[in-house]
Amino acid sequence: MFYADDAVFMSQWSDSNIDTIVHVLECFYRVSGMRINMRKSKLMGIFVEKNRVDFAACKIGCLTFESPFSYLGSKVGALMSRIHSWNEIVDRVIARISKWKMKTLSIGGRLTLLKSVLGSMPVYHMSIFKFPMKVC
């Protein structure tokens, strides 16, 4: 997956696949002149022993991270069918709405802002994940 200056590579875990990804990144550098900052890069193994992930990360000079993690504002690896997984999204909506109480907005202005937030933040996540009815 690519998004602007962000990339996620997914494949079966093997030393040869990791070597191939490193080789592809090196080829990218040679062609474009843009080097990947491995100190900002992270490696994760799904159903892979932690020591294997740590060894591979040390070998290529990057960090490791574990599930769940946030990618482009969405939780990846969480069981999104559980209510507590949605708390972060609900809290973000509440935080955004609570800021408006301090502002001197008309009822129409508040309604427009409310529709804007409720029409984008949760809907995006609801389009990706099946959500529990209690979240509504």
Domain ranges for the chain: 2-66, 74-135
pLDDT score at 27: 93
Q: Residue 112, Cβ neighbours under 10 Å: how many? A: 11
pLDDT score at 37: 85
Q: Which residues pair with 42 in a beta bridge?
A: 63
The C-alpha atoms of residue 54 and residue 58 are separated, in whole angstroms, by 6
How much of the chain, in percent, has pLDDT values that exceed 90? Answer: 8
Question: Tell me: the pLDDT tens digits for 35-87?
Answer: 888 888 888 888 888 999 899 899 888 888 877 777 666 666 666 666 666 77
Residue 47, both tokens: 């159903």
Task: From 94, 102, 99, select the one nearest 121 (Cα to Cα).
Answer: 94
Whether pLDDT at 118 is above 80: no
pLDDT score at 134: 67
DSSP 55: H
- Strand residue runs (E) in the chain: 2-3, 6-7, 42-43, 63-64, 69-71, 74-76
Whether pLDDT at 2 is above 90: no
Residue 88: band (very low, low, confident or very high) from pLDDT cuts 50, 70, 90 = confident
